[in-house]
Chain A
């Protein structure tokens, strides 16, 4: 009797896991396997017969200038915004941890840009950076310094910097909140002990606060880089990938090749490279940053 209830329970708990297992197989395992398979075939394009072509798709990618530009901008964006956000978010979090008038308003205002879609944020910034009189940045610069309209979105370098700048603006507040959550979990005893020992405020910052934020840095930087590599909507809304291909992203290239041009083989090869990059970033960052955490402890 007892044995049979146990058995029935085993069967039902298995049934509880089943739907998620189906999701895993249908939306992850099979598609990844098929991407891998396509990446070694000439599937799509003009041929009807599918045959293995080895690494030809991969070598074709590296001789395609559009792919390379997209790859390089995506890397620059992912690393650039991660660095800048980290450098701004930590001092911001330390300031937010103090008591001051209007703190709740400040926290909400800083966090809010993380809430709307990147598409809408990109569109909003196209008005602000526009070269005509309604573009508020240029009209203010013109009035104050008498400089002509700065082509924020239409030269290669400035367009790239603008995309990174808007990316930083939209994320810095919520990463500051993430650091703040860790700061609030640091016991005040540490600071009290430091005061007794006569530590300066700089020593308190670099000997207590920053080391104890190491785990937060692991989480924050991994999130920034992994999501940074997947950037798609923001540059598309802000610059449309241009001027030329200056702010083209890897995601845009995958969609272009694999959906619009029906070059499934090459698109799949690029998506497999993308997966390897994300996996590499995860492994490297987690090991390096965890080691750093251990050293600082």
Chain B
């Protein structure tokens, strides 16, 4: 199998894995959070259950993650947002330890201290943060470090259309364009910042087409939720960055299949919208394309699906069977020695 075909296959497999993971998480999240198992007088208890707190799922945005990470090595860094499981998985974060972290267990990536919005895996240079737009300048910093040391690695900032209105976005793009930092900005336009549609929050239709030039970098607009389209666009961008020519802003239309947070009743979404975007699911679309190209067979697709289910089950079992951190750990890791 050619290198390109192997990459396409990897992208498909990874999309399937991400989707299985997010779908399973969507269900597992509700465990022990609903009546009759909770405090009287509540319809839902966000702090209860094995996966407490908030949950932001990336189902429908997989194409962006795999199209990007297909080009990345271990040394390239990815800086994500509150909705970042897809990039974590595509970057190669340890799935068992990621799941254990989401369950708050001591075997988690952060010994249970961070939770789902604060995943850190140094081994593959992946990090995410819960403050919208918070991670964008972090990516610039990583890019600056690479440039200072004369390395060829790149940094990727992944965020949503909502974050593109944060001051940190604009400052980061200016820095990157000014200093020609090897950073690539990936804006995933799922059309919503929680309940507010992009047209009600953003002065322009496309950040890539209207704002990138304002910061002296190319802007690439991708209108299809298609991993192969991102794969192509990112190839150019990563090449440019590694050659020391500077940053790129890529904006891609993706779908947010679940609510902003799990349990979001999404009353602000027009009727039928979710059904419509579900019909345009990039995963079966990509399967069809790869089958037509002779890269995958129906049997292989079934195998990939089963393999993903098994891997997800394995990760969740590991998390469930792991211990919680001891109370004494509460006050550790404020400072390092």
A and B: bona fide binding partners? no
